[in-house]
Structure 1
């Protein structure tokens, strides 16, 4: 295992490289915005065949946490990915993005970088308006009192209240992570999200987008991505199977897979199956 820091626009970011297999490396773009790489640790298992590159985006985890809010924009994160790739000499590689990481992956690929072997879109959000539409349906599945609490605080602008946050947890345990007992390491300091980054770019909750990504939509340009692609989501995912499959049809030849016992974080909820599906796809691409 190799760890270190890379200078990028705005500060330094932490990276970790696991595995020394001879096959092309894969770089992982974690969710958020403002999340960390920690929750994706199951993918270290791929290190027996190839290097697996984890990193905490600026503002997250072990990376620097500047207070300049102008840094929290999509274009800077796209540049950051290119800077990391250059620093590590990643000429040929695969990309796996999860959730917000799929927004980043798609935006990076639309700059037509060279040397990308394939892309995996995990729990994708490739249209913020479509995401919000899907979450309206999910909210209607919540108990009425929870729905009422959410609506009350969103109307009043009090989404930072404890009552609102408690109601959000009711949503999350149905559509984000259905595990009854979560791994203890998810509670460590380095695993905690940066709420300021999340709020600036997305908003107060998964289903209430008010940040600078609220109008993000690359669906009309997905056909420009001329790469082997895999789209995955959970059966109970906030990134719904119907929407994820629709995205997959916008990239010629793309594959689609549903994890039947997962919500949004299949690498936590079904780690062995998640790794199997990713491994199989990468092998097919390289065959």
Structure 2
């Protein structure tokens, strides 16, 4: 299985940055590659690499890249808050599609924030070459995401919830108690595999090492979103998505049904598959079925 790693120049406001990418398979004429968008924001692509197994099993070329600010791409810890916008990442995506020469035929996959970005890109750009869209573990708005997370949080003890809120209000989210609390929540609603896969641990560690994008766009936590995505919503524009769309969610996902329902109600050609034994990462929790669902969708549409 061919594997290509490289870097693409990305120009923004007279500055030149680098977007690191990795391709499994060959981008040959007549193929329709799957372009994969990772989550975070600011979490490198390494944790969604299981998607690359579709190259070996189904012959589908898969393209991964690290969005600006993380992984193999240019890190910019000194950039102001207003630099980190959805439009920035859509412009970067435009650049990748153009550089790799796939504008006439490609499928788009997004996990978590990557699914939000993918949906936003489709309604904003209406890319002519988009064949199929996969939105995995993603909310249709931050308001619905926050509501879903707080529903999940309500199942924890009053003392636990008050401890988290105390540290968030006090600006002490780096404390051991808070970090242990977040990990306790994450083990129920991010990934229920024990121990966590190494690639997922490494991806979280990368965010800790450079939290610029996450802290700017999200804030201190998923329960207290204060960043540039605070008012983000795609709900009113979902009817603009005409491509066949696959929705994926886990029963115990942070993106609960209330956060996903608008996609299902407003996209014209849509299929929704829920994974009963999974939370936010069925790509690990029910990996075999997850890859089968994705492969079947790409083959059937």
TM bucket normalised to smaller: over 0.9
Q: Once the 2 structures are TM-superposed, how far is the Cα of residue 18 of structure 1 from its aligned partner?
A: 0.3
Aligned residues between the structures: 285
The runs of 5 or more residues in structure 1 that have no matched partner are: none
Of stretches 194-203 and 245-254 in structure 1, the one that deviates more from structure 2 is 245-254
Give the one of 39, 44, 54 matched to 2:52: 44
Give the one of 177, 185, 189 matched to 2:191: 177
Q: Once the 2 structures are TM-superposed, how far is the Cα of residue 185 of structure 1 from its aligned partner?
A: 3.6
Q: Does 1:33 align with 2:35?
A: no
Aligned equivalents of 1:135, 1:190: Cα separation in 2: 19
Of stretches 13-22 and 40-49 in structure 1, the one that deviates more from structure 2 is 13-22
Is the contact made by 2:37 and 2:118 (CA closer than 8 Å) also made in structure 1?
yes
Aligned equivalents of 1:126, 1:167: Cα separation in 2: 26
Q: Deviations over 1:40-80 (max 9, x none)?
A: 11111111322100111111111111221343211100100
Give the one of 274, 280, 283 matched to 1:267: 283
Residue 61 of structure 1 is matched in structure 2 by 71
Q: Once the 2 structures are TM-superposed, how far is the Cα of residue 189 of structure 1 from its aligned partner?
A: 7.6
The runs of 5 or more residues in structure 2 that have no matched partner are: none
Q: Deviations over 1:70-126 (max 9, x none)?
A: 432111001000001111111210000111112211111112122000111101122
Q: Once the 2 structures are TM-superposed, how far is the Cα of residue 184 of structure 1 from its aligned partner?
A: 2.6
Is the contact made by 1:2 and 1:16 (CA closer than 8 Å) also made in structure 2?
yes
Aligned equivalents of 1:7, 1:232: Cα separation in 2: 32
Residue 122 of structure 1 is matched in structure 2 by 136
Q: Classify 1:172/1:188 alpha carbon distance in 2 versus 1 (closer, same or farther; 3 Å).
A: closer
Q: Does 1:98 align with 2:111?
A: yes
Give the one of 225, 228, 240 matched to 2:241: 225
Is the contact made by 2:43 and 2:71 (CA closer than 8 Å) also made in structure 1?
yes
Residue 18 of structure 2 is matched in structure 1 by 12
Residue 300 of structure 2 is matched in structure 1 by 284
Match of 2:266, SS state, is coil
Q: Deviations over 1:216-245 (max 9, x none)?
A: 011011001111001111111011134324
Residue 157 of structure 2 is matched in structure 1 by 143
Residue 179 of structure 2 is matched in structure 1 by 165
Q: Once the 2 structures are TM-superposed, how far is the Cα of residue 186 of structure 1 from its aligned partner?
A: 3.6
Q: Classify 1:190/1:146 alpha carbon distance in 2 versus 1 (closer, same or farther; 3 Å).
A: closer
Of stretches 224-233 and 15-24 in structure 1, the one that deviates more from structure 2 is 15-24
Q: Once the 2 structures are TM-superposed, how far is the Cα of residue 138 of structure 1 from its aligned partner?
A: 0.8
Residue 154 of structure 1 is matched in structure 2 by 168
Q: Once the 2 structures are TM-superposed, how far is the Cα of residue 191 of structure 1 from its aligned partner?
A: 6.6
Residue 92 of structure 2 is matched in structure 1 by 80
Aligned equivalents of 1:44, 1:260: Cα separation in 2: 24
Residue 254 of structure 1 is matched in structure 2 by 270
Aligned equivalents of 2:291, 2:280: Cα separation in 1: 15
Match of 2:21, SS state, is strand
Aligned equivalents of 1:155, 1:205: Cα separation in 2: 11
Q: Once the 2 structures are TM-superposed, how far is the Cα of residue 201 of structure 1 from its aligned partner?
A: 0.3
